[in-house]
Chains A and B, each alone.
Chain A
């Protein structure tokens, strides 16, 4: 465990909690893509199946359990508890365009052709693009609440920190996982435009709004 990875995990956890708290406190999921949240629930479920097959550490197990539980809680808040506030009309990204190609790619490019490994690989590929319905929604409505921007920033910076973690691990342990690295790079690149808007607007106290 190095500092980049730890901060990455904390940032990921923070993002998930910010979103949950935002929905809970405002009793509304306006501006949040339910589709992205379903994709994240799928990502965690397919990646953490090893919870039942091998134990790594107390930290590892508890973080996995929290991520899974929070992602399902978020989906439940959006599609059940605060369903009336869900902005489905603007959440129109076609998720099959993400799920099908990443599933096919997981079958073709993986470390080992076994069910658990393919599902893990699928989760890595899917995670890299799972935010697209949310970013699409922001670009469609042309704005995002400040708290939603904080959520997106924390979520984006998490994988960026993991990139530094992988550089560190390669240097220190000779460890590298090309699948995770390439997907992590793609994931980070998808956030770049948002990072720019976040730094130039949100951090200066302005609401994130896109030019019409």
Chain B
């Protein structure tokens, strides 16, 4: 499935 980024990475 395709997950939109959770932006927890730098």
Whole-angstrom distance from the CB of A10 to the nearest CB of chain B?
Answer: 11
Q: A120 on the interface (CB 8 Å rule)?
A: yes
B contacts with A, residue count (CB < 8 A): 10
Q: Is A12 an interface residue (CB 8 A)?
A: yes
A177 is an interface residue with CB less than 8 A from chain B:
yes
Minimum CB–CB distance for B10 against chain A, Å: 6
Contact for A174 among B3, B8, B10, CB less than 8 A? B3
Task: Scan residues 1-10 of chain B and give those whose CB is less than 8 A from a CB of chain A.
Answer: 1-10
Interface residues of A in 44-69 (CB under 8 A from B): 50, 54, 56-57, 60, 63-64, 67
B5 shortest CB reach to chain A, Å: 4
- The distance from the CB of B9 to the nearest CB of chain A, in whole angstroms, is 7
CB distance from B8 to the nearest CB of A (A): 5
Task: Please determine whether A60 and B10 come into contact, CB atoms closer than 8 angstroms.
Answer: yes
Residue of A nearest to B3 (CB): A175
Q: How far is the CA of A50 from the CA of B10 in the complex (A)?
A: 11
CB-based contact A180/B9 at 8 Å: yes
The range of chain A's interface size is: 20 to 34
CB proximity of A183 to chain B, nearest CB, Å: 12
Min CB distance A175 to B, Å, is 6
B10: which A residues are within 8 A, CB to CB? 9, 12, 60, 63-64, 67
In the bound complex, how far is the Cα of B2 from the Cα of A26, in angstroms? 48
Q: Which residue of A lies closest to B1 (CB)?
A: A174
The verdict on A201 contacting chain B, using a C-beta distance below 8 Å, is: no
Q: Is the CB of A56 within 8 A of B1?
A: no
Q: Which of B1, B3, B4, B8 contacts A60 (CB 8 A)?
A: B8
Chain B residues close to A by CB (< 8 Å)? 1-10
Chain A interface (Cβ within 8 Å of chain B)?
Answer: 5, 9, 12, 50, 54, 56-57, 60, 63-64, 67, 111-112, 120, 162, 165, 174-180
A-B contact pairs, 6 of them (CB 8 A): A5-B9, A50-B7, A57-B8, A162-B9, A174-B1, A179-B5
